[in-house]
A = this chain, B = another copy of it.
């Protein structure tokens, strides 16, 4: 099963006054992982939108096990957990030097330019699952 990996440093902007990363930022990192997953499948997400499809998040779950801190190098590992006719689920693991910091999932529905839920087109399915 294909898994993408991308590493980045924690920004000061992403921390809060507890001295650790503010929890909503894990979802931003999921997005970074997602973008990398799509790119790794040879389908940059910008191309999906250029073709008139959008994948808004309908559900997200995140567990935080260990806090990330400023300047940490964190890696986002992303896999496709499920793909249905109109939605898909991605799974994420956020690690620092091999230690699992957080994990989670996002569910996305496929919508067209009129913001109507629609079937995931074949070309997208093929790219994402090949």
Binding site for B on A (CB under 8 A): 8-9, 11-13, 15-20, 22-25, 27-28, 31-32, 35, 44-46, 54, 56-65, 67, 69-71, 106
Q: Are B16 and A15 in contact (CB under 8 A)?
A: yes
- Stoichiometry (number of copies): 4
Given contacts A24-B13, A27-B24, whether A64 and B57 have CB atoms under 8 Å apart is: yes
CA distance A60 to B70 in the complex (A): 22
CA distance A59 to B23 in the complex (A): 9
CA distance A31 to B65 in the complex (A): 19
**A11 neighbours in B (Cβ, 8 Å):** 28, 31-32, 35
**A13 neighbours in B (Cβ, 8 Å):** 16, 22, 24, 28, 31
